[in-house]
Structure 1
């Protein structure tokens, strides 16, 4: 299937805007159905633009009320207007003022882009192209302007009025119950960073003093009555600011920093200058309603949006092809922050699990694209794991290659040169090339080529010569639009481990003192000298590059790494590799002997004896088998989700039986003995205890059911209560249904907790789950118009329930297709995200492939599809039509 190629936007076609906008004065009079917007723009021709070009402003479903140039109303023949654009035929050839008046209906804006109402409050979302839904504008990131915003509203409806920048004036509107507030942002910014909020909101605040001694008022606005649930987010914000000053030397630059939590939001959060708008799930937390993972996500996302102040706002991207320049870099920064705040090894493993589950999958699907794509039809569809997570890995590899000191100097130079500008990937790399003295032209291929490189390693030991050789080859599989790939510059951090656990000291001139080797050819070899006994190679320590590795090590040597490697990531990876080998074999119908499974289980027991209580969070990760989706990725073709589910369930049962004594001991010893705390150490203890409960239940349903039911009833925090309910959902019977009902009754007035309730039920891998999901769509807590509700129920069914979404009868595919079409009429962004669940359809066995293809064709043939959904379904069906 192909869509209209005229809609494709290409990087090679970039040219500067014909006009620039120096300043914007907005007067926004809020009303539920008839908001009035008056935009006064100071415009001038761009010296780098086309001389004599008309001024063409972007719009999206706009209702134009008036337009004037330098105070004179334009005649009809002087402009052309439609809901999608406004063209001034012959604009002046020097600076001029353009005034545009539009009228909006925020209540009817179900797309949640532009200005809309959420639970009675007004808010905006302008990235990527939402500002054009507020007023006609040059809605592109390389047009930077200074904004002044006057917001007016009914005092009873919206007593709080917030905008970008600093507050400069407020007051009452004479003769009415209306009031106003004026906000000024002194820093030029692109339109996608504009924001305003008006509504009834509670507030928590504190003062922060920057490293230069400036006072900044920090505030978080939430639904009234939930102020105490914002305390952790406020603390995370302050810690983020301190960390960014210390690690990157970046100081905040306004008098206030505001965050607003809203319940209807397409994204996680948005970094609007000085006024971050958040999905409330990433702000609100209390021990009774939020899990340890929720607290960790709040901390990370608060940090991410704050860090955007410099990597995204002060330095923005020239065009949307450079999206990774702000997102990938900022993800790297928030990952480093979380690693410093928590356990670095544990956090690194979590990062890699996310990367493999989302980005590796994307790279192997028809939706594959380079980190910097070369073309797109709908930019909303490129807020992807490739841009974010793989983009962060590229920054991490850059730091590994040039070293910590050069990396910090490169960042300083990048900020110095690009502050206040719209930059490119080339601007970014140039700063690091200059300070390090290295050419990064080869490294730049990471931004240009899609697909996940595969590195194959073979080892050779010559005892007589005392040498040990590692032979590396690399290749990247073809992806849509890129059949032939060049060799990448891949940093390999490595070490050698003796079978007794000691580190092998050996010389190799290609490996630097940090243990870093750069594989930048299709094939290369390392020879170590002075090796007196056969070592075990520990490769890609800390996951030094986003690649897949094929290594010719037997399971016995991998288990040596589990017990003895000094690199925590590779200890975890060794356990995952052995488990994956067994799981893939079992899923494909091969025999795996009891002795092999017992050897792995015994190694886990030994690990628990020696290491589990040193870092319980790490131990919990080691005990967790690869997910069913991970196994499907590993198998790669003719996948049978039912066979994978049986194999994983059987292996969990066998590990649970072998390690039963250890698991029961940990479950008893790690019970919380004091008040709840979300700190990393306490969360780690809960993680290991609940991982133990999960394996206990896998091995002995009666024992697991008894423990889980008791924990669900008596838990003092949401982490333990939800973990117990999660275990019960794997155990069919009356106890499960009773626990599900009780949980739903207990939290029926807590929307964010009900999301967890929806998710657990959607993931039950049983034949009646699809009917359960359809029934839950009628629940009073569910709304097809709320993205959180839809993601928690429908998204969880499609993304997490491998067995039931990929049903052999195709019913799961048909169900999702019907929901995508229904959601597309309300919120195309949400519909397109749901549709990405089909990205794995080509790897399924033939019957499922046929059903999935028919469901996709049903979507594609629907008249008047949104660009969002049309783009995704086209690329999913027709891989060569992608990037």
Structure 2
């Protein structure tokens, strides 16, 4: 089968739907391989063009179709593998369509499919068309009534959106449930779940005194692993009332966790479907990062109830309208639940690791894309994480009070509507009377602005001048860029470390100078505090100034940033030395600055741990014109050894002080203790001291929580020692029946820096623990190897690329969404030496030349090749 190049969809071609829908009646008769779906919808014309009705449909068997009670014959409509078209329609009519689908055979996990025997839907972005013929677009909103008929024994639980109206037996072995969602919604928010599931319940009393029933449905045996998810849900509901005045609008809220899911979770109105990864947790199976992830994702999907469901996006180009805004909201929630500076640092690390490279490569696109082939490929770091930064900048420019007024106005104007990013910006401008016209370029211009800072001090005039110049490089399809409007937070510190001035500058020109008067002595400047704008900052700091900021800056993000900048500068010098065959030089001042941070008892422990973490190999690679993965790895390992040698006694003392036999708690203070303790342990492991190896091994075997056990296992996974093999074998034996924990076991091996890691990954492909049909397994093994192990993925013989490409092509036949998301590492070919460039391009060409390739994967590979 020859690959059919997908059609390009353009924002400029958007047109309102020819027909709108008043209400939808769905009846599902669930059978594993032959589910029947009856869809009865009331349509009415949205214009006077007498256009045909074009309904989307994929992998459907059409059984019957009737218009206003009249059965249509084959001459009354046309149907192909993508759509069903009906001409000559009245202005208002009822259309009834019966289709048959195969949930068991649906390996794409889009539409209606089965996960471990449970029927489950995933309709965002375009999965509803795999259930029935429909105008599968977000600006067609309707109320839904859903009837589910299923076997009582295999499917005792029958769920859909909204309120349960009826639940009865219909035959000896069958039962029926009828659900009604009173809020109009697009088809992508439709949800159905049916299966044999356990239920954990609680309640939440809203700010107006209503009681909301909360239910979490999971596979039997997992009932003891949902307490944290339930607590996180209730905390999110309370926070949204307090921060934004948003109350939940129904009396029922359901969450279902399934093992096979393409995404992290889905915000379907009142019936959120989650990947088990973001629901299940207890101390012996989940790490601190897992607990934080669950808290954040539970909140994210709940917050969508208003920013995504009650007000949704007009078209998929506006995806960041709901996702960027909701990421900002969940980040703010997590910051209030935990350490605000550490959450900000973590968010920026994610942005730099995923979004900055996206902005700098062939897949660069604006926060509001202008075109796409497959919308599933645009669930990107740009839409989500950079989109969140755009909202954060609005918040900074407007201030909390005006931002809240803007949010209130947005809901007042657009509740129950499908709208655009421009509509959101208009609400913010009208509520605050602040002009955001230029600011909106953040939605339409791709790329990361580079801001160069120069400063000078006039002793006689006691004036400090700061000049900022911004540049936005060309990106695919956008060669000429205009200056962006951004907030740059700055501070001035005197030589005693006292803050002289703190301000937020509104920067809007290609080059502009800001003057600060009555500055009595030459200060040290702190720039882009709290990462107030998502930019690449070029500032000529000396290493002395960076060490000063590490020790004295009152803004914790800027303090961490100084450590990262110093470390990056030092490591890039070491990379150059390695490439020239010169020995590495130890920088005593940097290590001393780290010691001061380590021993500062005024700082949060989790913040200290973050400051002690060197820039990642991936981040260092992004700073190089031509990436040298071997030199980067060798330089970073050498610096870690220098730090470990000089601070060994401090690390050992703090490690011992922080060890605790107290019962596990996921609270921020306890997480901080474990973070610093395990950071100390990782540095202690840099040497070959048998006593340190014994410490690591003892922590692995004696840990009373998964965070400490995984920290030890991660260290051992990079050790050529019997203890590594013993721990890996023990870990699998302990947890082989827990799929989520086994995912950690796969990932830790895929990330190993030891020789032979690719062979290990290849062998794990045939292990009983792995299934290429399960997205979590694919991400844990193949995804981690390709994205998080540059040393072995970029092996100079190209074996890593060939293995990766083989898996992409294998996956494309099973689940094109997951296959397409795996392509990105190959798209960085331009950043490598000529030999690796040729090898990576050859693999992209091999993907494109494959017959029958999906549109999703074709788009990603063709754009990556350029």
Shorter-chain TM-score bucket reads over 0.9
Partner of 1:509: none
Output the CA distance in 2 between the equivalents of 1:349 and 1:464: 39
1:416 maps onto 2:405 in alignment: no
- 2-side partners of 1:533 and 1:660: how far apart? 39
Residue 704 (structure 1) shift: 3.2
Q: Is the 8 A contact 1:467 1:530 kept in 2?
A: yes
Q: CA deviation at 1:407?
A: 0.3
C-alpha contact (below 8 Å) 1:572/1:621 kept by paired residues: yes
Which residue does 1:466 correspond to in 2? 462
Give the direction of change, closer, same or farther, for the CA distance of 1:579–1:593 in structure 2 (3 Å limit).
Answer: farther
Structure 1 counterpart of 2:848: 860
Q: Give the Cα separation in 2 of the matches to 1:731 and 1:467.
A: 56
Give the deviation of 1:45 after TM superposition. Answer: 0.5
In the TM superposition, what whole-angstrom CA distance separates every residue of 1:826-882 from its partner, at most 9, and x where no partner exists?
Answer: 00001011111223221112211111111111111101110110000010001xxxx
1:286 to 260, 267, 282: 282
CA distance in 2, matches of 1:122, 1:334: 29
Aligned to 1:603: 593
Residue number in structure 2 paired with 1:692:
680
Question: Does residue 1:14 correspond to 2:14, yes or no?
Answer: yes
Instruction: Give how far 1:533 is off.
Output: 2.1
Tell me the CA shift for residue 113 of structure 1.
Answer: 0.2
Pairwise mapping of residues 160-179 of structure 1 onto structure 2 (< 5 A)? Answer: 160-174=157-171, 176-179=172-175
In 2, the alpha carbon distance for the partners of 1:794 and 1:654 equals 33
Q: Distance in 1 between matches of 2:694 and 2:6?
A: 62
Secondary structure of 2:482 counterpart: coil
Given that residues 32 and 104 in structure 2 are in contact (C-alpha distance below 8 angstroms), is that contact kept between their aligned partners in structure 1? Answer: yes
Which of 53, 56, 59 does residue 57 from structure 2 map onto? 59
Cα distance in 1, alignment partners of residues 206 and 93 from structure 2: 39
SS in 2 for 1:542: helix
The whole-number CA distance in structure 2 between the counterparts of 1:8 and 1:618 is 46
Unaligned runs of 5+ residues in structure 1 are 506-513, 879-883
* Counterpart Cα distance in 2 of 1:807 and 1:595: 27
Task: Determine which of 81, 84, 90 is the counterpart of 1:83.
Answer: 81
Asked if residue 140 in structure 1 is aligned to residue 137 in structure 2, the reply is yes
Question: Hey, what's the Cα distance between the residues in 2 that align with 1:32 and 1:105?
Answer: 7
Secondary structure of 1:732's match? coil
Matched with 2:613 is: 624
Residues in 2 aligned to 1:65 and 1:577: alpha-carbon distance in whole angstroms: 64
Provide the secondary structure at the position in 1 that maps to 2:226: helix
Q: Which residue of 2 aligns with 1:342?
A: 338
Structure 2 counterparts to residues 338-487 of structure 1, below 5 A: 338-487=334-483
Indicate the residue corresponding to 2:542 in structure 1: 554
For the 8 Å contact 1:209–1:215, the answer to whether it is kept is yes
Task: Work out whether residues 59 and 101 of structure 2, in 8 Å CA contact, stay in contact via their aligned partners in 1.
Answer: no
The 2-side partners of 1:703 and 1:346 are apart by 32
Between the aligned partners of 1:352 and 1:246, the Cα distance in structure 2 is 26
Q: Deviations over 1:698-734 (max 9, x none)?
A: 1445343221111000000000000000111122121
3-state DSSP class of the match of 1:225? coil
Identify the residue that residue 327 of structure 2 maps to in structure 1: 331
The 8 Å contact of residues 362 and 839 in structure 1, kept in 2 or not, is answered as no
Q: Cα–Cα, structure 1 residues 594 and 871, in superposed 2: closer, same or farther, change >3 Å? A: closer
1:530 deviates by 1.9
What TM-score, normalized to structure 2? 0.98
Contact residue 141 and residue 422 of structure 1 kept, 8 A: yes
How far has the Cα of 1:523 moved from its partner?
A: 0.3
Report if the CA contact (8 A) 1:652-1:699 is conserved: no
Aligned partner of 1:838 among 796, 809, 826 = 826
Partner of 1:107: 104
Q: How many residues align?
A: 863
How many angstroms apart in 2 are the aligned matches of 1:689 and 1:549? 32
Structure 2 CA distance for partners of 1:844 and 1:550, relative to 1, 3 Å: same
Q: What's the CA shift for 1:436?
A: 1.3
Moved more, 704-713 or 195-204: 704-713
- SS of residue paired to 1:36: strand
- 1:124 maps to 121
Structure-2 separation of matches of 1:484 and 1:583: 34
How far is 1:425 from its partner? 0.8
- Displacement of 1:589 in angstroms is 2.7
State the match for 2:642 in structure 1.
Answer: 654
- Counterpart in the other structure of 1:510: none
The residue aligned with 1:734 is 722
CA contact (8 A) 1:78 1:90 kept: no
- Tell me, in whole angstroms, the C-alpha distance in 1 between the residues paired with 2:843 and 2:393: 40
Counterpart of 2:488 in structure 1 is 492
757, 761, 764: which one pairs with 2:752?
764
User: What SS does the corresponding residue of 1:353 show, helix, strand or coil?
Assistant: helix
After TM superposition, give the deviation of residue 273 of structure 1 in Å. 0.4
Residue in 2 aligned with 1:716? 704
**Deviation at 1:504?**
1.9
Check the 8 A contact 1:141/1:192 in 2, yes or no: yes
Tell me, in whole angstroms, the C-alpha distance in 2 between the residues paired with 1:121 and 1:648. 47
Equivalence for 2:151: 154
Distance in 2 between residues matched to 1:411 and 1:620, nearest whole Å: 36
Q: Determine if contact 2:452/2:537 at 8 Å carries over to the other structure.
A: yes
Q: Residue 325 of structure 1 contacts residue 425 of structure 1 at CA under 8 Å; is this kept in 2?
A: yes
**CA deviation map 1:268-299 (0-9, x unaligned):** 00000000000001000010100000000000
- Corresponding residue for residue 511 of structure 1: none
Match of 1:29 in 2: 29
| Deviation of the 1:528 alpha carbon | 1.7
CA-CA distance at 1:167 after TM superposition: 0.4
The answer on 1:520 being equivalent to 2:516 is: no
Gaps of 5+ in 2: none
Structure 2 residue matching 1:183: 3-state secondary structure: strand
Structure 1 residue 221: Cα displacement: 0.2
* 1:807 pairs with 2:807: no
Shift of 1:212: 1.2
CA–CA separation in structure 1 for the residues paired with 2:435 and 2:556: 32
Q: Per-residue displacement from partner, 1:186-233 (whole Å, max 9, x unpaired)? A: 000000000000001001111111111111100000001111101110
Counting only pairs closer than 5 Å after superposition, residues 812-823 of structure 1 correspond to structure 2 as: 812-823=800-811
Please give the root-mean-square deviation of Cα atoms over the aligned residues, in Å.
1.4
Report if aligned partners of 1:262, 1:278 keep a CA contact under 8 Å in 2.
yes
Query: For the Cα contact (< 8 Å) 2:253–2:271, is it kept in 1?
Result: yes
Alpha-carbon contact 1:24-1:39 (below 8 Å) kept: yes
Distance in 2 (CA, whole Å) between partners of 1:37 and 1:708 is 56
CA distance in 2: counterparts of 1:254 and 1:13, whole angstroms: 37
SS in 2 for 1:373: coil
| Whole-angstrom CA distance in 1 between matches of 2:682 and 2:689 | 10
Give the match's secondary structure for 1:106: coil
User: Partners of 1:830 and 1:426 in 2: how far apart?
Assistant: 31
Deviations 1:348-405 (A, max 9, x none): 0000000000000110110100000000000000000000000000000001001111
The residue aligned with 2:244 is 248
Mapped to 2, the partners of 1:579 and 1:151 lie a distance apart of: 59
For 1:680 and 1:764, the matched residues in 2 are separated by: 29
- What is the SS of the residue equivalent to 1:588? helix
Deviation at 1:5, TM superposition (A): 7.8
Asked whether the 8 Å contact 2:123–2:190 carries over to 1, the reply is yes
> What is the 5 A alignment of 1:169-318?
169-174=166-171, 176-318=172-314
* 1:539 and 2:527 matched: yes
- Which residue of 2 is the match for residue 881 of structure 1? none
Contact persistence 1:371–1:446 (CA under 8 A): yes
